[in-house]
Each structure stands twice: as C-alpha cells, then as structure tokens.
Chain A
C-alpha cells in the first residue's frame, strides 16, 4: 500500500527566504510523485511531478523537488519565497501501473511573512 507523510502542518517563512516542505513516501512499486498547491477556496493545481525520469524536477512558480529513493523522500523547495506562495501544499503518490489513484499527505500550510 502507498502512503505519504508530510511532517508538520504549518511552515512560516519570511519573504525572500528559502522554502522547504518535506514529504516522505511509502510505495511497494516504483512511485510517481506529485506536489499540488491549493489556494483558498480553489481546487488543486499541479506544481510538479516525478515519473521516473530526472530525479530533480522543476515545476511552476520557481518550485522544484528532488526524488531520493534511498531516503524515500520528495521534498519541495523554492529559493526565495514570495507573498503569493502562501497556500496549502499537498504531496501525493501514485503507484505505476493500471490504477493511478492519488494518495495524499495531510498537507502543509505555508505562511509568508513580509
């Protein structure tokens, strides 16, 4: 069975500071990994995805994530936070194969201080 752990429910950074949101996964088969962002009263928007190609994945809005198999991690980073990055971020895993349902972590709320 697949699962995702996102440690902590809230991260606060200053504008211009590094953003680091952690995600660890568990999967019995090679995983596909995703980061989604949810702005208030909106749906989920895909930030980036890992599907067994390059381990360093670049996404939209300056975000990137690195797949580390040895650590079963897929942490999300952004060098310099912007006020508009304040949102809830979800890490999700999908097992390669016929069933592509997403299993989500509990989400992390990112606050950006001026």
Chain B
C-alpha cells in the first residue's frame, strides 16, 4: 500500500458528462501529480500541485482542470467527456517539489460510453 488513496476505483459515464476524481496524498506529502495512462498514449503527465499551488502543467486538455485543497487532497475534473478520455488516471504524491520519489495510487479507471 503506497499510502495514496484514489476514489472512485471505477467510473462509467457517458459522452458529454463531467466527472471528478479524488486523490488523498500520503501523510506529510505536499506535492500531488496527476497522470493519464491510455493504450495509445501510454503514461502521460497532466499536472502537478505543490501545497495548493499549480507547479507544472503537461499535456492536460482545456476540458480538464485540477485543484489542491488546504487539506492537501486533490481533485481532477474532467468535463465534456469524449470516448477518447477513457483511461486509467493515476495520482502520485511526494514530499517536496523536486528530487523526491513519487508514490502512486491504485488509479481510477474511467470508461466513457
């Protein structure tokens, strides 16, 4: 168990809908990262937050947004969902901003029908 908790484990929804994925980092970790794993794109970095502030952005679509709350949990919001958004979404956390090991949650599997 990595100590990173992601909910829900599975999410099935329809095109055009909006969903929220939640991540609770390991106790003491201030950085949260979101990654998307799909068959065609592999594992891709989406966005990083550190202590509530956005720190880095990767290949995140404009329809996607994220935030980190004062209690350090993070949410990834996906809107106007398309079939191609079906993927496994991972959250990872680390103590600091750089040079730290990232610990991954078990992921949320999103299926858009």
Contacts and interface: CB of A to CB of B under 8 A. Distances in A.
Contact of B98 (A99, A103, A107): A99
A44 B45 contact: no
Interface stretch (B68-76, B79-87, B100-108): B100-108
A54 interface: no
A104 B45 CA distance: 9
B48 A42 contact: no
A90 B37 CA distance: 12
A102 B33 CA distance: 9
B104 A45 contact: yes
Contacts of A42: 106
B100 A100 contact: yes
**Most chain-B Cβ atoms within 10 A of its Cβ — which of A96, A102, A103, A105?**
A102
Contacts of B103: 46
B11 interface: no
A41 B109 CA distance: 10
Contacts of A107: 42-43
Interface of B: 2, 4, 31, 33, 35, 42-45, 48, 55-56, 58, 90, 92, 94, 97-107
